Each structure stands twice: as structure tokens, then as C-alpha cells.
Amino acid sequence: MSGPAFNKITVVGVGLLGGSVGLAVKAADERTRVVGVGRRESSLGRALASGAVDETTLETAAGVAGADLVVLATPLGAYEDHLLAMKDALPRRAVVTDVGSTKGLVVRVAESVLGRGGPFVGSHPMAGGENRGVEFARADLFLNAPCIVTPTPHTPPGHVRKVERFWKMLGGVAIRLSPSAHDRAVAKVSHLPHVLAALIVALQGRSGQGLIGSGFLDTTRVASGNAAMWREILMTNRKAVLAAVDAADEQLMRLRDLLEVGDGPGIERFLAQAKRRRDEWAASRLRRAE
């Protein structure tokens, strides 16, 4: 029997995503040792108790010693400190990745600390939900989830393949995009929908509240996400989100015109095309999950 694909993986930050990485790694190959780095003994203790990590430490440098792979899973604002702390303790063979929702700024920061052509390869597994904390971590969180890997022209191809293998091992679907292509795509597929969901909630008046049904709750589900986390996402992807907002506003005004002049066939064409596309995507996601 061959050895494990990874001997030791260090997860920095043991919340929902970090904890799920740990559980998924252990489920894939229990021989892989998982080290959890955190700021508080209490959350590290819960991560240990849940089986997401085998050992814990408050020291980033100590945590990454001997690791094949380091996964940053803290808020984006804490990345730079952790990268600086781990820089001299990283083994030569180690690759560093992350789970952050925006990539342009993250990759720039990581390459400036660890070096261009260095060990960092950005990742963004599109999985999660409204809940936070290791209590909600699940071994199958990444199952069939798009896991975007964002190399730059300087990233060693072997590092990219290693990170892609990692996400596949966790059940994800690895997708390669440049950091900026990633940011533009998620601005449209995730960040703008979040903004619009919050906006729909903000628009409701008193009389509407008794009328809230499952359609409204589904449409606005993402607006129940953590506000501080989403502030960070929107602020670190401002340029792409602004472009998506402008594109949305243009479409909204086009639809407004159709309504104003009472162009029923035009409205139906717009709705029918959206229905066709969404039905197709929902079906293709179901097929991926099979």
C-alpha cells in the first residue's frame, strides 16, 4: 500500500471552512495528520473534540513545521500576519493555499510575502453557508463543490497540480482561473446576488412581512450571511463588484423600459431566457452531483 497523498496538512483557522477541510481530509485518508492553528484555545479545543484536527497550536510557525500543505482559512484580514509568521518555518516542499472568497488582493499579498513563484497558490472552494464555527463543519462540505484554483504566470505548475489534487481528494471539482477572472466571475455569480438579496430585504415595508413565503426566503437566503465577512468580501473585490452593479443597473433599466411601455412579449422573452438558462444550470449541477 502506498503512503498518503499528504503526510501533514496544517489548517490555519478552524471555523466552518477550516474545520470542514480537516474533517474532509481525515475522511479521505485518516493517515494524513491535520494540525489546527487558531487564536483561541476554546475553538481549537472544539476542533479537536470534533475530530477535525489531530493536534492544535496557537503558534503559526510551529503549526506549519513539517507540513506538505498549509490551508489558510481565517478572515482575509489576518492572512498577512499568518504568512509573515510562517514564512521562515515552511518546509521547502510545502505549498500554501487558502479558502478566501476573493483572489486578486489575496494573491498579491501572498506573493509579496512568500515571493513570486513561491509556495502560494490561491483557492476558493465555493461551499459554506450562513453558519459559522467548527460546530457546523462537515466532511462532505466540498463534495461536488466548484473549487477554483487561481495560479499566476509565476506559479510553479507542480504547485497548482498539488492544490488541484487536494480539492479533488476532498470531493470538489477543481477549476483553474486567473485571480482576476475569478474575481470578475464570482462578483457576478455570488457577490452581486448577495448585494441584491440584502437590498430586497431592505426594501420590504411593514405590510409585506406577513406575506413572506418560501420564494422570498430562498431568494434572500444568502443575506443571512455574516455581515463582517461579506463586508470584507465586497471591499476586497470592489472593482469587480462595482462593474457587476453597473451591469445589473443597466439590465434593470432595460427591464424598466419594457414594463413602462407595456412590452409583454419583450418581458416574456427576457423571463423565458432566464428560466431556460437557470433550468439548464440546475440540471447540470444535479448531473455533476450524481
Region from 56-64, 78-86, 91-99, 222-230 binding a second copy, contact rule CB under 8 A: 222-230
Query: Is residue 220 part of the contact set for a second copy (CB under 8 A)?
Result: yes
Integer Cα distance of 86 and 16 in angstroms: 22
Specify whether the backbone of 273 is left (phi greater than 0), alpha (psi in -120 to 50) or beta: alpha
Q: Which 263-282 positions form the footprint of a second copy (CB under 8 A)? A: 264, 267-268, 270-275, 277-279, 281-282
Chosen residue from 1, 3, 157, 260 binding a second copy by CB under 8 A: 260
Region from 29-37, 132-140, 155-163, 223-231 binding a second copy, contact rule CB under 8 A: 223-231
Chosen residue from 62, 65, 143, 248 binding a second copy by CB under 8 A: 248
Name the minimum Å distance from CB 35 to a second copy.
28
State phi, psi for 70 to the nearest 5 degrees: -115, 130
Name the minimum Å distance from CB 233 to a second copy.
10
Query: Is residue 203 part of the contact set for a second copy (CB under 8 A)?
Result: yes
Nearer to a second copy, 2 or 209 (CB): 209
Region from 2-10, 94-102, 131-139, 185-193 binding a second copy, contact rule CB under 8 A: 185-193
Nearer to a second copy, 87 or 238 (CB): 238
Query: Is residue 198 part of the contact set for a second copy (CB under 8 A)?
Result: yes
| Helix H or strand E encompassing 36 | strand 33-37
Name the minimum Å distance from CB 72 to a second copy.
20
Q: If we measure between CA atoms, which residue out of 140, 116, 118 comes closest to residue 127?
A: 140
Query: In degrees, to the nearest 5, what angle opens at C-alpha 75 toward C-alphas 227 and 51?
Result: 110
Q: Is the alpha carbon torsion for 56, 58, 60, 66 positive or negative?
A: negative
List residues bridging with 55 in a β-sheet.
35
Site string for a second copy, 227-246 (x = CB under 8 A): xx-xx--xx--x--xx-xxx
| Count, residues near a second copy per rule CB under 8 A | 86
Residue type at 67 in one-letter notation:
A
Name the minimum Å distance from CB 104 to a second copy.
15
What does the DSSP assignment read for 116-177? TTSSB-EEEE----S--SGGG--TTTTTT-EEEEE--TTS-HHHHHHHHHHHHHTT-EEEE-
Query: Is 32 in contact with 4 (CB distance < 8 Å)?
Result: yes
Region from 37-45, 63-71, 84-92, 173-181 binding a second copy, contact rule CB under 8 A: 173-181
Query: Is residue 136 part of the contact set for a second copy (CB under 8 A)?
Result: no
Name the minimum Å distance from CB 26 to a second copy.
24
Query: In degrees, to the nearest 5, what angle opens at C-alpha 132 toward C-alphas 130 and 133?
Result: 160
Q: If we measure between CA atoms, which residue out of 49, 42, 50, 47 comes closest to residue 15?
A: 47
Name the minimum Å distance from CB 89 to a second copy.
32
Nearer to a second copy, 1 or 253 (CB): 253
